[in-house]
Amino acid sequence: MSLWDELRAFWTQRRQAIHEAYTRTLPLGDYVVDRWDKARALGFGEGTSIYDTAYVFGEVRVGKDTWIGPFVVLDGSGGLTIGDTCSISAGVQIYSHDTVRWATSGGAEPYEYAPTRIGHHCYVGPNAVIAKGVTVGDGAVIGANSLVLSDVDPGARVGGTPARPLGAGRS
């Protein structure tokens, strides 16, 4: 049996087992890589998991019992901290740098870096983008497809592009 045949047999077996247990189908890497092992290897907190399809750059610190979904980008080049018991949904991008001044100056200006912080017990909805230097307070909720350009107060619910407060008290 060739290596290709062995890999195909492994993938078929894992796909069936995962589908029976969780009713889902995943990219090949997520059948091979254990999400909790990957989180431990990155030095993330106990009980945290991160899908194999997530990208992690630079200095990223994550607390315990946090779930980081598939196709997430965690840019810690300027420092990124995510607290305990957070849910970082599929497709989320969290940045701690940007290249706006560099690009618009024709490369004459440097990249800009600023630490980004997601507090404890936060929910970040699918495909949200959080810009460099933003602090999201404890217990905040970021709606799906939101662009977060400024700090979010603890317990706040925000959404939209750019993200604005949602719910009672919104003007």
Q: Which residues are catalytic?
A: 97
How far lies 153's CA from each of 5, 13, 100, 160, in Å?
Answer: 53, 46, 26, 16
The C-alpha atoms of residue 122 and residue 115 are separated, in whole angstroms, by 17
Torsions phi, psi for 10 (to 5 deg): -60, -50
